[in-house]
Amino acid sequence: MPTISEINARFLHYIQSLDQQGADKLISNCLKAGLPPEQIITKIIMPAIDAIAEKQKNREVVVAQIYVMAKIAENEINKVLVEMPIKPRTKGTVIIGTPMGDYHGLGKKLVATFLRLADYQVMDLGLSVNHFDFVNMAIAFNAKIICVSALLLHTALGITEIRKELDSRGYNHIKIVVGGALFNFNPKLSNKYGADAMAPNALDAVRVVRELAGDF
């Protein structure tokens, strides 16, 4: 049986070469060998995700790779989860969507996937979401964070509407986290639109959500 760090390196290699089959086989073997599912997730899959996200931060990997890698990681986690006796405790609910009129869905999808992988319960409201729906769902599901992925300037005003709606209904403890090309090109905009924080990529999105909400 190879050591955890050897398995680790191999899993990262499979993910980076976009080799779903290799990853599948490795994780199946780990399960067969009796490695605790919990450990497979925290010691093998999560570090690989972190490593990739770190590379994205340095612009060493592109969206197409992250998209496939996140998918492989998600598949493997799902496979391992089935083997676990009780569902792991989740860290709480996060609402995510794009503002009304914005149909760029890729960034949202990646951020939602990374948040899920980090154990958050993610309610993905989809594309072009009305600000009332963001707020209603956040209240209904007791979410502490609303994530908005915005690629177009003019539809990003939906973020301001969410803020207003939260404030006027007395829910100003619910925080808004934003991201998307706009904020990467001009981070000041996040404040201007009434968000509490922004993050430039999916890994930082998890960090920022954690900082704002804790492991609630």
Partner 1 sequence: MPTPLERLLTALSHKEADRIPILPVLLQHGAKELNVDLEKYFTNGEMLAEGQTRLIEKYEYDAVIGVPHVVEDLLAFGQKLVYFPNGAPVLGGMAISRFHEIDKLVVKDPGDVPELRETLKAIELLAKRYKGTVPILGAGIAPFSLPSMFIGTEKWLQLLFDDEEMRKQYLIRFLEVSMEFCVKWMNRQLDAGADTVVLADGMASATILLRKQFQKWAMPLIKATIARINGPVVYEGVGSLGDFADLLPELGAAAAIFDRYDNLAEIKPVLAGKVTIVGNINNIALIDWTPEQIEEEVKKVCEAAKKGGGFILANQGPEIPYDVPDENIRAFVEAGKKWGKQ
- Footprint on this chain of partner 1 (rule: CB under 8 A): 18, 59, 62-65, 67-68, 71, 101-106, 109, 128, 152-155, 181-182, 185-186, 188-189
Three-state DSSP class for residue 99: strand
Which entry of ligand B12, partner 1, none binds 201, CB below 5 to 8 A by partner kind? ligand B12
Q: In DSSP terms, which residues pair with 147 in a beta bridge?
A: 96, 177
Token pair belonging to 123: 């309610």
121-124: strand order across its sheet: 121-124, 93-97, 145-149, 175-179, 197-198
Residue 4 binding ligand B12, by CB under 6 A: no
Closer residue to partner 1, CB minimum distance, 7 or 111 = 111
103, 132, 141, 171: residue in contact with ligand B12 (rule CB under 6 A): 103
Residue 113 binding ligand B12, by CB under 6 A: no
| 12 CB-side CA count, 13 A | 18
Cβ-Cβ contacts under 8 Å for 158 (sequence gap 6 or more): 99, 100, 101, 102, 129, 131, 148, 150
Q: Choose the stretch contacting ligand B12; rule: CB under 6 A; options: 2-10, 31-39, 166-174, 179-187.
A: 179-187
Q: State the minimum distance, in angstroms, from the CB of residue 118 to partner 1.
A: 21
Using alpha carbons, list the distances in angstroms from residue 72 to 19, 77, 164. Answer: 8, 9, 39
Q: Which residues of this chain interact with ligand B12, rule CB under 6 A? A: 56, 63, 103-104, 106-108, 110-111, 147-149, 151-153, 177-182, 184, 199, 201-202, 205, 208
